[in-house]
Structure 1
Amino acid sequence: METKTATVTLTIDDQEVTVPEGMTILDAAAQNGIEIPTLCYLKELAPDGSCRMCMVEVEGGRKGGLVTACSAHAHDGMVIHTQNKKVRNSRRFVLDLLLSNHKLDCFKCASNGDCKLQDYSLEYGMLETSFHGQRQPGKQQDTTNPFFDYDPEKCVMCRRCSLVCQLRQGRDVISIAKRGFGTKMMPAYGEDWDQSICESCGNCVSVCPTGALTSKDQRKFRIWETTKVRTTCPHCGTGCQVDLLVKNNVIVGAEPANGPANRNLLCVKGKFASYKFVASGDRLTTPLIKRQGQFVPASWDEALTLIADKFTGLKQKYGADSLAGFSCSRSTNEDNFVFQKMMRTAFGTNNIDNCARVCHSASVHGLANTLGSGAMTNTIADITTDVDAILLIGSNPTDAHPVIGSQIRQAIQHGTKLIVVDPRKIDLVKDSAMHLQAKAGTNVALINGMMHVIIAEGLADQDFIAKRTEGYAAMRDLVAEYTPEKVAKLCEIEPQQIIDAARLYANAGKAPIIYCLGVTEHSTGTEGVMSMSNLAMLVGKIGRPGCGVNPLRGQNNVQGACDMGCSPFDFPGYQKVANPAVIAKFEKAWGTDLNPKIGMTSTQVLPAASRDEVKGLYIFGEDPIVTDPDTSHVRHALDSLDFLVVQELFMTETAAYADVILPGISFAEKDGTFTNTERRIQRIRQAVTPRGDAREDYKVFCEVATRMGYPMAYDSASQVMDEIAQLVPTFGGVNFKRLENENGLQWPCRTLDDPGTPIMHVGKFARGLGLFMAIPYKPAKELPDDDYPYLMTTGRMLYQYNTRAMTGRTEGINKLANHSYIEINYQDANRLGIQDGDRVQVSSRRGKIQTYAAVGDKIMQDSVFMTFHFTDGNVNELTNPVFDDIAIIPEYKVCAVAIEPINS
C-alpha cells in the first residue's frame, strides 16, 4: 500500500498553494513560480540565512513577522507576503548596507550582467548607498591563482564560497578572517591563493553571486554575449554535466550543471581545462599524407582513396587478420560503434580494441565471470550518500575522479568510515578510519585474509550465500590458509589491520567496495577483480543500495567503448564473437559475412606487428607510444607496419609515425553520447563547428568502409544510436529523445518504458547465481632484486589528464604541473643522497629516464611512484609489458627499478 506524503496548505501572495510538509517557504514559493531573492542560499546545503535578502512577512508572526524564507518552514494556514512594502523596505535596507561596502565599478567588472547584487539593486532601485564613511580597504585583489581572481571589495560576505569549499568540495580552504570593515574571505592563515591548499576546482567561483571571485577568462566576455550548451565533461569517467559558454563560435567558459553524477560540482579540469584545447592553434585541420618522410596537406578524396586502396591491398595479399584497429575511449558511443562495424565488415577482422585493454578490461572479464555483467553495480550518489563504510582499494579518486573524491569527503563528514587500501598515503588517508598501506601487487592476498577473518568470526551472510551463490565451499577452503599473520607478511602490514578492516566492512549496514586501476593493472588483475566480487558476496553486500562492487572507469567513455563492442572478444553489448548465433545475428543485420575468429587485443597487435604479422593499423584517438608499457617496443611495432593511419586532434607522438593523418573533431564539435562509470548514457551536444576541414569521425569511418566495398552511411548520431538499440538488448530502450532527460539512462534499459537500472543484481545476478572463485595469491611477475631494488607503481595526478593532449593546452594547468616526477620515501632518499627537487635517473630492465625527485612520506619505504602524463620522463619507458592471462591487461602497477642521483 502506497504511503501518502503529508502536505500543508498555505497562502503566498494571495495564491493558495499545497506543498509537502517540511518544505521551506523559499522552496514552496519557487515550486509555485514565485521568486524570492537570495544571495547566500545553495540548494545542495542546509540554509545559512546570513544574507537576509530572502525576508518575507508571515501574518501574525513574531518579531514583526519577518522571517528568512530559506530557513523557515511552511505550515498549514500560513499567510505569507513576499513583495509588500515592509518586505521590500527590508530588502532595500540590506542592499543599502551591502552597497556601502562594495566597489561600484560594474562597467569594468567581469561579472557585469551576471551578478545577483547588480540584479537586485536594479530591481529595488538602489543605484548607490545612503551610507558614508569607512569601508573595505581598496587594492587587495589576489590574482595569484592561475585560473581565478579575488577582489574583497566586491564580496558581500554571503559565505557561499566557504560553504561550497568546506561542505561540498571537502577542502575547507576559505574562511572569514579579520574584523570590522577589514573582514573578508580568505585562505587559511592569510596566505595568497596560490600558496594555499586550494585545488583550483573553481566551485567557489561558480557559486559567487557577485564579482568577488571571477574566472580570468571572464575578462574576455560578458554573460549576455554567450549561449549555454549542456554537455558531458570529456575527462574522467565520472560523467559530470557541464554548461559550455560559447561566444562567436568559441568556447569561453564552463559552468557546473546539476547532473546526477556531479550535482553542480566540477574539478579543476572540468571547470578550466575542458574547453581550451578545442580552439587550440595546433589542432589538426586537414588530412596529411607522409611523402619522403614529411607530412604534406592533402584533400579528403586523396587521403581516403589512399587509405582504402592500401588497406584493401594488404587485406587481399595477407588476409583480413593482417589488419587491426584501435578505437577511442574519449570519443562517443556512436563513433565507437561505427568504427568497430567498419573493422568487422569492410576490414573483415575482429582485431579491434580500445584503451580499456590497458586499464579496466580486468573489470569487464572479472565481474562478467562472477556476477554476469562487467560494470559498476551501483550509482555514484548511492555509494557516497548514506553509507556506513567504504572500502576504497587501489583507487585515488581525489586525483583521478575528483568529483567522486569530493563526494567521498562529504560522506566522511556525515559519518562514513573509510578504509583505504593503497601503497601510497593518498589525500583521503588523512580523513580515513583505516589505512592499509599494503605492498603493491598483494590485493588478492589481502582480500583472502579479510575473508578468512569474516568466515572465522561468523560474519558471513550464510543465507545470501546459500540462496544466491555457488562455488562457496572451494573459496572457503582456500582462504582458510590465509590467516592474518600469513597475509600480513605478504602485504607488509600488521595482522590486526586485516582483522579490523574485515570487521568494519562486514559489520557495516551499507558498505560499497570502490576500486580502480590499483586492482586491475596487474598480471593478476582479473583475479583481483573477482576477489572484490568474492568479498561483497560473502557478506551479502551486492544488489542492495549503498553496497556493490564499483570500478571507477578512467576515461570519459571507456565504459561506452567496451559497451559498443570495441573488443576482439565482443560484438556490441558484450555479445560474444565465439558464439555462432551472435555471428549469425550480426551477419543478418549488417548484410555481410563476418569473421568468426576471435581477434587480437591491442597488447597482442603491437607485438604481432613487430613480428611482421600485422601489416596495417588504423588508430582512432589513441596514443600508444605514451600510454602503452615498454615504449621502445611500441615504437618498433609502429615502425614495422606497412601502413598506419591515425585519426587525431593533434600531432601526437603516435601520429608522427603515421602514413596518413586524418583530423578528428572534439567532443564540443559533435553530437552523441558518452556512458559514464555508473553505466549512465548521457548526451553531448555540438557547441561549436569543427575546426578547418575536419569531418564527423563516424562519417569518415563510413566513407572508408564504403570505399573498401561495404557501403555504410548515417544521417546523424541519433540514427546510429537507433541501430545500437536494435542490436544491443541492454540498450533497447535508448534513443536521443529519451536522453533529453537530464538524468540520462542507465543500462540495462531494454524497452522504451524501461526507466533504466540504477542498481544491478537486485534479487538475482545477471548470470543467475553469483560465482565465488577460489583465487590463490600470485606475486607480481617482476619484483625488486639487488640490481633493481625499488618497487615502482604508477597512477594519475589531479592537474593533468592521460597524455596531456587536452589538459596540456591549458596554461594554468601547466603552471601547476609541467614536468614528470618520482615520489621517493624520505628514508630511501636520504640513503641515496637525493633531496626534494633533484634530478634523478630511473632505470628498469626495459629502459632509462630522467625525472625529478618528490621526497616525502606518501610512498612506503623501498617503493616509488610515478604518473604517466608527461613526455619528459615517460614512465612507460620502464613499465613491464607482461599481462594478465585472462584479460590481457599489462602490469603497470608493479615493476622493479633502480634510482640514482644525477650530478650536475
Structure 2
Amino acid sequence: MSERLVPVVCPYCGVGCRLYIRSVDGYPVGIEYAKDIPNISNELGKLCPKGNAVVEYLLAKDRLKRPLKAKEQGKFVEISWSEAIKEVAERLKAYAKDDPNQLMFFGSARTFNEPNYLVQKLARMLGTNNVDHCARLCHAPTVTGLKAVFGAGAMTNTYKDIEEANVIFIIGHNYAETHPVGFRYVLKAKERGAKVIVADPRFTRTAWFADIFLQHYPGSDIALINGLIHVIIKERLYDEKFVRERCVGFDEVVAAVEKFTPEFVEKVTGVPAELIIEAARTFATAGKGVITWAMGLTQHTHGTENVKLLGTLAAICGYQGKEGAGCSPMRGQNNVQGACDMAALPNVFPGYQAVTDPEKRKFFEEFWGVELSGEVGLTTVEAAYAADKGKVKAYYVMGENPVISEANANHVMHTLEKLEFMVVQDIVPTPTMEYADIVLPAAAMLENEGSLTNTERRVQWSFQAVKPPGEARPDWWILSEVGKAIGFDKTGSGGFVYNDAADVLREINACTPQYRGITPERLKENLAGLHWPCPSEDHPGTRVLYKEKFLTPSGKANLAAVPEYKGPVEMPDEEYPFLLTTHRYVGMYHTATMTMRSCALKKRWPEPLAEIHPDDAVKLGIKSGDWVKVVTRRGAYPIKAKVTRAVKKGVIAVPWHWGANVLTNDALDPVAKIPETKACACNVAKITEEEARKLMEKLPPLIPKIEVVRG
C-alpha cells in the first residue's frame, strides 16, 4: 500500500488556495491544510466549504471514463481513443479547409494554463481566432477597462495589499460568500482599523462587516461611482501631485462628473446623498485604499465603463503603484486569469498581444510556423448567434457548460441544436454534453498536473494527486493528440508533440513576456508560486504593478470620463414591473457540475431561493417557502420564495447555479461583449407545486442521465 501527501491548488474559485491531498494507491482519502507553505493565498491554510469538500466530486459515480460518440441526442456509444481523435481531427480539418471561421473553440477557466494555451494555439493554427472562455461571462470588462486606464487588464496588487490598506471599497461583490478565504484579508485590515465600504443591491454577508453600506439599484453603478468622484473633486480630496504627474484626462473627468451631485445620484441609485458624501470622504482621505469587485459590477452593458471609472477613482486618489493600495478584481473560477493570459480570447495572442498587430502576428507566425489570421474572432455569445445563422458549424467545448452559464440559455440550446458537429471535453455529463457528437473524457484537475494563475497574478504548480478513472486523460494530452492527428506533428513550437504539461509551459515561457521567468522547474520548487510579470529566470516576480509608470503608450493613467448615466437595457415596465438580479451561494460553484456531486454541499445548499422584499411579497400574496414563477422576455423559471429586506423594494434576486440564465438578458457591452446577466425586467407570480414541477420539466437537468448503448 502506497500513501502519499500531494500539494495541489484548489479547483474552485480564483483565490488559489493551497492544500494537500492524501491518497492511498492513487485513491483520495482526505485533505490536509497547507500551513507549512509560506506566502500562499490561504496564508493560514484554511479552506472554504467547497475546498473542504474537494475530494467528493472526484468520486462521482457518473464520471466520464471512455470516449463516446452520439447515436442520437442523449444516447451514446463507447469508442476507442484512436477512433475519437481521428474523427475529431478529420472533421476540424475539413471545416478549416472550407472556411476556418466555421469553427469555434471554448477554453476553460477550470483547467490549467497549458491546455488553455493549446486550445487557442489549435484554433489559430487552423486559421481562426474564434476562441473564447468564461471570462466573457464574468471579467471581460475588467480586462478591457483596466487595460484602457492602466495598460494591463489584471489585478494591480496582491492579497497582502488588501490586508495593509486603510480603506477597502467592495462593489458588486459579495466577497465574504463568493471568496471567503480571500475575505480574511479584508477582516485582517478591519482589525487593524481599516474602513470597509460596501456597495451592493443586496444586503449580503459582506455588508454585515461594512462601516458604510451603499445599497444601490442593480445597474446604477455609473451614477454611484461618478457621484463619489464628484464629491472627491469638489472637495479637493484627490491626490493633486499624482494626478498632475501620472495621469491624463483629469479636466475631462471634472466636466463629466459635474452633474453627478449627491442629490442627483440619490434619485438614480436609491442611496442617500449623505452616505455618498461620507463614502467619498472616507475613501479619498485614507492614504492607502483598495477597490475590489466581481460580477455585480461587470455583467452589464456598461461593464467596461464601470471598471474604467473604478480605475479612475483609484488613480485620482493616488491609490496605484504602492503597497496597501490598488485595484483588486476577484476572479470567479480558479484559472480565469490564466486562461486570459494564455489568450483563450478572440482578440489577442498569449500575453495580451493583439492579433491585429502585424508585428505581434509575425512573431507568432514564425513561432508556430503557420500563417495566422489578423481578424478578431467571435466571442462565445456572438458565436451562438453566428451558429443560429449557419455561419458557425462546429464547436469544440473544453470544460465549460454554456447551456447553464450563458445568458438567454433557451437561445443557446436552440443554436446548439443547429450545429453540424460538436465536441465536448469534460469530466462528468453536463446539459451541454447532450448536444455533443463526440465526448472526450478528461481527467479532473487533481488527477493531472499543470500551472494555474490566481486572481492576484500568482502562478502555482498543482501536482497529480490521484489517478483518473478509466481511460480519462489530461486536457493537454487530448489537445496534443488532436493537433498531431490534424497534421501539426512537428517537434518544437510549430507542432503538438509534448511529453508532459511542463513541456507546454516551456513553450509558454518562450512566447509570453510576462511568463518568461515562470518555468516549470521554478514552480515545482517554489510551492508558493510567482507573481507575473516575471520576465526572467532570476526575477522574483512582481507584487505591485505601476510603481514607476503605467503600461499605456504615454506611461500615464488614462482617466475615464463618462458623462452620461447608463442603466440596464431593460428597465421595469407595466408588463415586467420588477428588476431581476442574480447572485451566488458560497457552497455552490458556477454551473454546479462539481458541487452538485458533493453530498456535503448539496445537503447544506439544497435549493435556490428567490429573494423578494416584504412590501412586494404582501402585494403579490407571497410568503417564504411559496413556489413562484419568475418570468422575463426570454423564459420562465420556477423557484421558492424568500421574503427578506436584504433586497430593495422592486428587486428580485435569484442564485443562478440551478439554471436561472433562462431568464437573463444577452444584450452586450459593446466593448467587452459581455452579456447583461445582472439586471433585466421581470415579473413574479405565485404558483402551485404542480405548476412548478411542470415548468422544471422544460428546463435542462443539471445532472443529465446519459445513456450509453451498445454499438
Aligned partners of 1:251 and 1:276 also within 8 Å: no
Q: 795, 801, 812: which is aligned to 2:583? A: 795
**Cα–Cα, structure 1 residues 713 and 238, in superposed 2: closer, same or farther, change >3 Å?**
same
Structural mapping, 1:265-284, within 5 Å = 265-284=45-64
Q: CA separation in 1, counterparts of 2:28 and 2:622?
A: 44
2:351 is paired with a residue whose SS is helix
Q: Given that residues 9 and 462 in structure 2 are in contact (C-alpha distance below 8 angstroms), is that contact kept between their aligned partners in structure 1?
A: yes
| Residue matched to 1:853 | 641
How much has 1:829 moved relative to structure 2? 1.1
| Superposition deviation, residue 585 in structure 1 | 0.3
Paired position in structure 2 for 1:314: 95
Q: Is the 8 A contact 1:255 1:271 kept in 2?
A: no
Residue identity opposite 2:261 in structure 1: T
Structure 1 counterpart of 2:569, which letter?
K
Q: Quick one: distance in 1 between partners of 2:635 and 2:597?
A: 28
Structure 2 residues without counterparts, runs of 5 or longer: 490-495, 690-711
> In the alignment, residue 648 of structure 1 is paired with which amino acid?
D
Deviations 1:635-681 (A, max 9, x none): 01100100000001011000111000000111111110110000000
Q: Distance in 1 between matches of 2:520 and 2:480?
A: 21
Question: What's 1:721 paired with?
Answer: 505
Contact 1:418-1:432 within 8 A present in 2 as well: yes
* Secondary structure of 1:737's aligned partner: helix
Q: Counterpart of 1:792 in 2: which secondary structure?
A: strand
State the match for 1:374 in structure 2.
153
Q: Using the TM superposition, give the Cα deviation of residue 753 of structure 1 relative to its aligned residue in structure 2, in angstroms.
A: 1.1
Deviations 1:500-531 (A, max 9, x none): 00000000022101111111110000000000
User: Which residue does 1:392 correspond to in 2?
Assistant: 170
Does 2:411 match 1:619?
no
Amino acid aligned to 1:725: N
Measured against aligned partners, the alpha-carbon deviations of 1:717-747 in whole angstroms (never above 9, x if no partner) come to 1111111111011111111121121321100
Cα distance in 1 between the residues matched to 2:188 and 2:546? 27
Preserved CA contact (<8 Å) 1:629 1:876: yes
Aligned partner of 1:744 in structure 2 is 529
Q: Which residue of 1 aligns with 2:666?
A: 881
Matches within 5 A, 1:335-350: 335-345=115-125, 347-350=126-129
Q: 2:613 aligns with which of 809, 825, 829?
A: 825
1:363 corresponding residue in structure 2: 142
SS of residue in 1 equivalent to 2:653: strand
> Structure 2 CA distance, aligned partners of 1:619 and 1:719?
23
Distance in 2, matches of 1:266 and 1:289, equals 42
Residue of 682, 693, 707 corresponding to 1:897: 682
SS in 2 for 1:455: helix
| Distance in structure 2 (CA, Å) of the matches to 1:464 and 1:398 | 32
CA RMSD of aligned residues (A): 1.3
1:753 counterpart = 2:538:
yes
Distance 2:457 2:183 in 1: 18
SS at structure 2 position matched to 1:231 = strand
Partner secondary structure for residue 881 of structure 1: coil
2:255 paired residue number: 477
| Matching residue of 1:93 | none
- 1:285 pairs, out of 47, 58, 65, with 65
Secondary structure of the equivalent of 1:568? Answer: coil
CA shift, 1:387, in A, is: 2.2
Letter in 2 for 1:458: R
The residue correspondences of 1:37-116 to structure 2 (distance < 5 A) are none
Q: Distance in 2 between matches of 1:292 and 1:527?
A: 45
State the partner residue of 1:248: 25
Measure the CA separation in 2 of the matches of 1:706 and 1:594.
Answer: 18
Q: Which amino acid aligns with 2:573?
A: D
Q: Pick the aligned partner of 1:834 from 593, 618, 622.
A: 622
The amino acid across from 1:531 in the alignment is L
How high is the TM-score relative to the length of structure 2? 0.93
Pair 1:539–1:788, CA change in 2 (3 A)? same
CA–CA separation in structure 1 for the residues paired with 2:301 and 2:452: 29
How far did residue 225 of structure 1 move? 7.6
- How do 1:673-688 and structure 2 match up within 5 A? 673-688=451-466
The alpha-carbon deviation at position 227 of structure 1 amounts to 2.1
Match status 1:305 vs 2:82: no
Shift in Å, 1:594: 1.2
Q: Please point out which of 488, 493, 498 is paired with 1:710.
A: 488
Show the counterpart of 2:228.
Answer: 450
* Partner Cα separation in structure 1 for residue 541 and residue 52 of structure 2: 32
Match of 1:549 among 319, 324, 327: 327
On the 8 A contact 2:444/2:474 being kept in 1, the answer is no
2:557 to 763, 770, 774: 770
Aligned residues of 1:619 and 1:647 also touching (Cα < 8 A): yes
1:732 equivalent among 504, 511, 516: 516
1:273–1:806 Cα contact (<8 Å) kept: no
Deviations 1:31-70 (Å, cap 9, x if unpaired)? xxxxxxxxxxxxxxxxxxxxxxxxxxxxxxxxxxxxxxxx
- Give secondary structure in 2 for the equivalent of 1:882: coil
> Quick one: which amino acid aligns to residue 594 of structure 2?
M
Give distance in 1, aligned partners of 2:590 and 2:497.
32
| AA in 2 matched with 1:333 | N
Quote the Cα distance in structure 2 between the aligned partners of 1:314 and 1:443: 43
1:426-466 superposed Cα distances (whole Å, 9 cap, x missing partner): 11222211100011111111111111111111111111011
Q: Which has the higher contact order (CA 8 A, sep 6+)?
A: 2
Contact 1:307-1:704 at 8 Å conserved across structures = yes
Of the candidates 368, 371, 375, which is equivalent to residue 590 of structure 1?
A: 368
- CA–CA distance in structure 1, aligned partners of residues 370 and 464 of structure 2: 33
Once the two structures are superposed, what CA deviation does each residue of 1:874-895 show, in whole Å capped at 9, x if it has no partner?
2101000001000000101101
Residue deviations 1:310-351, cap 9 Å, x none? Answer: 22222233x000101001111000111111111111x22100
Going from structure 1 to structure 2, the CA distance change for 1:656 and 1:454 (only over 3 Å counts) comes to same
Match of 1:629 among 396, 400, 407: 407
TM-superposed deviation, 1:292 = 4.0
> Size of the alignment, in residue pairs?
675
TM-score (structure 1 length as normaliser): 0.74
Contact 1:441 1:779 in 2 (8 A): yes
In the TM superposition, residue 269 of structure 1 has moved relative to its aligned partner by 3.4
Distance across 2 between alignment mates of 1:741 and 1:309 = 41
Asked if structure 2 preserves the Cα contact closer than 8 Å seen for 1:235 and 1:269, the reply is: no
CA distance in 2, matches of 1:404, 1:366: 23
Q: Which runs of 4+ in 1 moved over 3 A?
A: 265-271
**Separation in structure 2 between the aligned mates of residue 769 and residue 268 of structure 1, nearest angstrom:** 39
Letter in 1 for 2:271: I
Q: Is the 8 A contact 2:53 2:601 kept in 1?
A: yes
State the alpha-carbon separation in 2 of the partners of residues 355 and 817 from structure 1: 24
Shift of 1:536: 0.6
Query: 2:428: which partner in 1?
Result: 650
Question: How far apart, in 1, do the equivalents of 2:591 and 2:444 lie?
Answer: 16
Residue-by-residue CA offset, 1:394-429 (whole Å, 9 max, x unaligned):
111111111012332333233221100001101122
Matched residue, 1:121: none
Between the aligned partners of 2:514 and 2:90, the Cα distance in structure 1 is 37
CA distance in 2, matches of 1:525, 1:588: 36
- C-alpha contact (below 8 Å) 1:250/1:279 kept by paired residues: no
* Greater CA drift, 271-280 or 650-659: 271-280
C-alpha contact 1:400 1:796 (8 A) present in aligned 2: yes
1:853 is paired with a residue whose SS is strand
1:110-132 residue CA offsets vs partner (Å, 9 max, x unmatched): xxxxxxxxxxxxxxxxxxxxxxx
Is the 2:56–2:599 Cα contact (8 Å) retained in structure 1? no
Give the % identical residues.
39
